[in-house]
Amino acid sequence: MTRLSVNINKVATLRNARGGNMPDVLKAARDCERFGAQGITVHPRPDERHIRYSDVTAIRPIITTEFNIEGNPIPSFCELVKQVKPDQVTLVPDAHDAITSNAGWDTIANREFLTSICASFKALGIRVSIFVDPVPKMVRGAKACGADRVELYTAAYAEQYPMGAEAAIEPYLKAAEEARKCGLGLNAGHDLNLENLAYFVRTIPWTDEVSIGHAIICDALYMGLERTIAAYLEEIRKK
């Protein structure tokens, strides 16, 4: 079954808006696990506007499910990953001033750089996923770089889904089939929610993991965190 990894960045955003430790990011990570999430994702950025580097090191020893750290592999990020040794690192090419991730890697133009980064993390036993747009040649490029998985950037799918699910998922299905052909694991994330999640994993049932943060925290404002995670797990099981 596709696994649900909860991105807790927005919990940290709320904490940082006021200062102090409310809400408690560490408690949120433990609670997400307790409520059924099969993984925790964090995306530390250099300005630490949400998850801080210190959060990452504090979360590692207290969770028992999979820990995924995503971000742009700048030197400070790479050092953090090597120190923490998560189960998975997801390489995302976001600019330092990006509000949120907005594109996948050009795995062809950046092959030399990504190959070096993949090798350094894999040497430590860390699974490496590369964030890509739903383009088969970029998936093949990720394989050539030495990645273990790709994460398909699903913002376009979520945007187009209300106008027609089949058309929205078509490029993702082609990219996912390419990943399977290449022997790559498959993750997906960005703007997946209770409306579009079930169709995605039903159409691409070999999706290993979905990483969802913003929508889960938004839904939790009305439903509560426990009910929200249960609802997302139910959508995944609908396939």
Instruction: Tell me whether residue 235 is one of the annotated catalytic residues.
Output: no
From the list 33, 190, 209, 235, the catalytic residue is 190
C-beta contacts of 179-185 below 8 A and 24+ residues apart: 179/139, 179/149, 179/150, 180/206, 182/139, 182/140, 182/143, 183/143, 184/139, 184/142, 184/143, 184/147, 184/148, 184/149, 184/150, 185/127, 185/129, 185/148, 185/149, 185/150
Is residue 43 among the annotated active site residues? yes
User: Is 190 an active-site residue?
Assistant: yes
Per annotation, catalytic residue among 70, 151, 209, 235: 70
Residues with catalytic annotation?
A: 43, 70, 190
